[in-house]
Structure 1
Amino acid sequence: MIKKLAVFLLLAGIAVVLAVGYGFSQLAQRQLAISERYFTVPAGTSARGLCQQWLAQGQLKTWDCQLLRLYLKWQPDLAKVRQGTYQTPDKPDLLSLLRLFASGEVAQFSLTFIDGETVQQALTRLQQAEFLRQDINDTSQILALLNWPADWGAKPQHPEGLLFADTYFYTADSTASQLVTRAQQALLHQIELAWQQRQGALPLQNRYQLLIMASLIEKESGLLAEKPLVSSVFVNRLNTNMRLQTDPTVIYGLTDYSGRITYADLRNPHPYNTYRHHGLPPGPISLVGASALLAAAQPDVSDYFYFVSRGDGAHVFSETLEQHNAAVRKYILDKKDD
């Protein structure tokens, strides 16, 4: 009798093990219908709590959650889900989701500040960034966050150009001010790198003027190979007390720019108009990247004083006004007559 009971218990134990094992295999295949691209696990959430949530939604059965309870005793690390926002797999199953949530590998989001854009345009991008907590409403707050080094001189009085143009990665619930601070720290680092590599006898008195020069270069050419040449034109003009006469500075100071610079625009006395004022404008006119900063610090050596757009993104550089006027006729005036 005892022998038969032992055999029965053994067989019953084997049956239970097989049943549980089968149940676990079924649990691993239990698909969940989650259409959202991202899934947020709030603080204090447990694996069993998530199972109950999906049970209430009709995605799981009571038996699934009972099996999961046993499974978590066998795999206790899987129960330690971490709060955060995760990217949902294409075909999520119950166990793979819990493994993801236990890993803490939250989704990474990105925001790009584009070289040549204004700080107001950068603020718009910032405010439209997904899963970013918004705590900046105005560009003046960007200026307030700036930690300008004391030995660099007076802190800038305008927020323009005070974010480094680059791509920044962040996790959900990061704040806009955190990204701004990182972009400003990156800018200060890049300015210092360029300043330390600057050529001697540049007509730039400080690092802020280097940033201003870089912004002019950034707005004039998007071609990496051209930027040091554009820089050389501005340096040659500054060294001979010629006005810089760069159109982007005219546009920057206008409040009603129509898309085409007029003679009245060129005569507008606003402080950024380098057709009316000698020297650099009072501040940057755009965000800059590393290539523009380096071009400002290391201009090519040239005899060029003029350049004009060819209409394909590149420019024609000239040493004399006569050469420049010929290039303007060829690439600007003739095209208008076509």
Structure 2
Amino acid sequence: MRFWQKSFKFYLVVLLFLVLMVSLVYVSLKPQREKVIEAVVEIPQNTSTKDVAMILKKNGIIKNPYFFMFYVKLNNYKIAAGKYKLSSDMTYRELCRALEKGFVPKVAIKFTIPEGFTAQQIAKKLQSLGLVDENKFLETVNSYDFNFKYKYSSKEVKYKLEGFLFPDTYEVYPGTSEKDIIKMMLNRFLEVYESIKDKKATNLDDIQTVILASIVEKEAKKDSERGLIAGVFLNRLQRGIKLESCATVEYVLPVHKEVLSLQDVRIESPYNTYLKKGLPPSAICSPGKKSLLAALNPAKTDYLFFVARKDGSHIFSKTFEDHLKAQKQIEEGKK
């Protein structure tokens, strides 16, 4: 009788052990939950296996911390301190292998490029965020080995991709190359421009449209005036009148100026629209969607001139005489 009892206990222990082993194999091979939970989990230095299990349970990664503890000790896993991106659909085996490596997930960096930024300003901002080397970024912009459908024909352009680095909010991981960031911005330009280019109501080609949009972007301070400003410049182009845009001159100046001097507007440059007829050889900044739409479909107007008020709005005029009157009224504070 005693022998039978001992045998029964022995086989019961063996059976329970086998059930436990099968359960462990099952949970090590099968995801833990139907609803997948993802979390970045931090394991501090010198954390015990029990505390690791409790951290994982607290974050919803595992259901039973004791099963996990047993599995870790049974397989002699050594868990390293660090931050881990884990998921509840990982098996125990996958969890332990990940936790052994001390993997620290990369955190994406979000950045926003404002409308009207130049290639130089974009490079400087990205360098300030630790994402690129400013000089390498600009060199890459000008190396032009991208499979990009829009290209400037002039050899006098300052930056070959100026105007196509679309202003928007992006997310990249540290270590992303200058080339990949540029590709991302070019692709975003294509996505936006290709979706609206069918609204074009001018005889300008796509490159000319982007150049005009960039000038509108720099000149317009109010959305309601973008179409009118585009209309003024289009009228001047069609009549062979110089654009005389201060923004195009400022593009080639070494420092920003609120008011240009007489010497500035006499600077010899293909971008100086006070001296050169027609559009400059390239865009002068990255225009946003609103300015692109204004250049695609400018307001139909007889205006040929505009002058800025202190609040950023403009007075539009049909004749040079009226333009001079508007300038005087603004100087005297009457408008």
TM-score, structure 2 length as denominator?
Answer: 0.67
Contact map agreement 2:49 2:69 (CA 8 A) in 1: no
Contact map agreement 1:309 1:316 (CA 8 A) in 2: yes
User: Which of 329, 334, 337 matches 2:332?
Assistant: 334
Change (3 A) 1:252 1:111: same
Percent identity between matched residues is 29
Worse-superposed segment, 109-118 or 212-221: 109-118
Cα distance per residue 1:40-78 (max 9 Å; x no partner): x9xxxxxxxx75xx2xx45x4575358767435689xxx
Aligned to 1:168: 170
Aligned to 2:216: 217
Q: Does 1:125 align with 2:125?
A: yes
How does 1:190-201 map onto structure 2 within 5 Å?
A: 190-200=192-202
Q: Distance in 2 between matches of 1:180 and 1:222?
A: 27
Change (3 A) 1:145 1:136: farther
Change (3 A) 1:61 1:155: farther
Q: Distance in 1 between matches of 2:263 and 2:326?
A: 23
Q: Distance in 2 between matches of 1:174 and 1:69?
A: 41
Give the 3-state SS of the residue equivalent to 1:137 in structure 2. Answer: helix
Change (3 A) 1:121 1:133: closer
Deviation at 1:153, TM superposition (A): 7.7
Deviation at 1:183, TM superposition (A): 0.5
TM-score, structure 1 length as denominator?
Answer: 0.66
Give the 3-state SS of the residue equivalent to 2:332 in structure 1. Answer: helix
Q: Distance in 1 between matches of 2:70 and 2:326?
A: 79
Change (3 A) 1:322 1:74: farther
Deviation at 1:226, TM superposition (A): 1.1
Q: Distance in 2 between matches of 1:85 and 1:253?
A: 48
Aligned to 1:290: 289
Deviation at 1:105, TM superposition (A): 9.2
Q: Distance in 1 between matches of 2:190 and 2:49?
A: 57
Deviation at 1:316, TM superposition (A): 1.4
Q: Unmatched 5+ residue regions in structure 1?
A: 7-38, 42-49, 88-97
Cα distance per residue 1:85-112 (max 9 Å; x no partner): 889xxxxxxxxxx9xx99x997443111
* Equivalent residue pairs, number: 274
Q: Distance in 1 between matches of 2:128 and 2:319?
A: 47
Q: Distance in 2 between matches of 1:192 and 1:171?
A: 27
Contact map agreement 1:85 1:106 (CA 8 A) in 2: no
Aligned to 2:21: none
Deviation at 1:195, TM superposition (A): 3.1
How does 1:16-31 map onto structure 2 within 5 Å?
A: none
Deviation at 1:325, TM superposition (A): 1.4
CA RMSD of aligned residues (A): 4.2
Give the 3-state SS of the residue equivalent to 2:171 in structure 1. Answer: strand
Aligned to 1:188: 190
Aligned to 1:262: 261
Give the 3-state SS of the residue equivalent to 1:174 in structure 2. Answer: coil
Give the 3-state SS of the residue equivalent to 2:263 in structure 1. Answer: helix
Contact map agreement 1:136 1:177 (CA 8 A) in 2: no
Contact map agreement 1:168 1:179 (CA 8 A) in 2: no
Q: Distance in 2 between matches of 1:177 and 1:211?
A: 22
Contact map agreement 1:135 1:175 (CA 8 A) in 2: no
Contact map agreement 2:244 2:273 (CA 8 A) in 1: yes
Q: Distance in 2 between matches of 1:62 and 1:321?
A: 83
Deviation at 1:141, TM superposition (A): 0.3
Change (3 A) 1:69 1:112: same
Aligned to 1:148: 148
Q: Does 1:113 align with 2:113?
A: yes
Deviation at 1:214, TM superposition (A): 0.6
Q: Distance in 1 between matches of 2:300 and 2:312?
A: 22
